[in-house]
Amino acid sequence: VSDFLVGFLLMPLEIIRQTTCWFLGDIMCSVHFYLSCNIVIVSIGNIVLISTDRYMAVCDPLHYPTKFTMTRVKLCICLCWLYSGFYSGLIVLDDLRYPGKYNSCYGECVVVITFIAGITDLVFTFLLPVSVITILYITIFVVAVSQARAMRSHITAVSLQVSVSLTTKKSELKAARTLGVLIIVYLICFCPFYCVVLAGDNTSSASFVAFVFHFNSCLNPLIYALFYPWFRKAIKLIVTLQIVQSGSREANIL
């Protein structure tokens, strides 16, 4: 949902802001930047949650079903959105209180982030999530490799139980590889943006890296669609509105 909102809501407004006169008013300008911050942070938070999920599934599989219940997953997603909304409000608080404060002429849409807010955003939106994701993924990779070696060492004692275990581990390793691709794409899209922001560059290159920054949300669903057939089937059910039909929850997408 967060990735969809980036393309459906944020990118059209950003194209208007970059290519023509801003005719939506100062209040909508401030709201646009608030939503930009809010939705992008939710997208980053989703990657952190997925990393935590994969960490538990690979490193502590016996307790995974009891720790990651549907209720807890929903709660974590709701907390992610609430945290993002509160945090984004603090980052652009000055512009929300005084819309158009930094505009030099009519038709501009300029929002200035203070130095302290910029450093805070760098730490909590980039450095901290990257650190958490990287540590979890390295741990996942090390544990997965050790488990694979242990399985190969006992391959002579193959049984039905072992076969099921191997199938399960194969699925978990595929999920871990998908997470790795997500992390690499995330770094490629976000690093240029923060480099330009720290350098204080306001030229056309800043507009380009901002586009790459938002383009990450376009790539995330494509990565899932590439790796998971069930994801493609689920999207098809949603786009064709079959999801609103009675009994759609019983549809087999696996």
Query: Which residues touch 141 (CB under 8 Å, ≥6 apart)?
Result: 176, 180
Among all chains, which residue has been given the structure tokens 């488990």? 147
pLDDT of residue 123: 86
Query: For residue 245, what is the DSSP state?
Result: S
Q: 112 to each of 87, 91, 120, 150, how far by Cα in Å?
A: 16, 10, 14, 55
Q: Compute CA distances 83 → 112, 132, 134, whole Å.
A: 22, 17, 22
Predicted confidence at residue 200, as pLDDT, reads 62
State the pLDDT at residue 164: 45
pLDDT tens track of the chain, all 254 residues?
A: 888 888 888 888 888 887 778 888 888 888 888 888 898 889 889 888 988 888 888 888 888 888 888 899 999 999 999 999 999 888 888 777 877 777 777 777 777 777 777 788 888 888 888 888 888 888 887 777 776 666 666 654 554 444 445 455 565 566 667 777 877 888 888 788 777 766 765 555 667 777 888 888 888 888 877 777 888 888 888 888 888 887 777 777 76
Residue 43, classified by CB atoms within 10 Å of its CB into exposed (0-12), middle (13-18) or buried (19+), is buried
Domain boundaries, the chain: 2-250
How large is the greatest C-alpha to C-alpha distance in the chain, in angstroms?
Answer: 76
**What pLDDT score does 162 carry?**
46
**Which amino acid does the sequence have at 169?**
K
The C-alpha torsion from 97 through 81 and 178 to 7, rounded to 10°, is: -50
pLDDT score of 160: 45
pTM: 0.74
- Please state, in angstroms and rounded to a whole number, the distance separating the CA atoms of residues 56 and 133: 13
| Fold observed for domain 2-250 | Rhopdopsin 7-helix transmembrane proteins (1.20.1070)
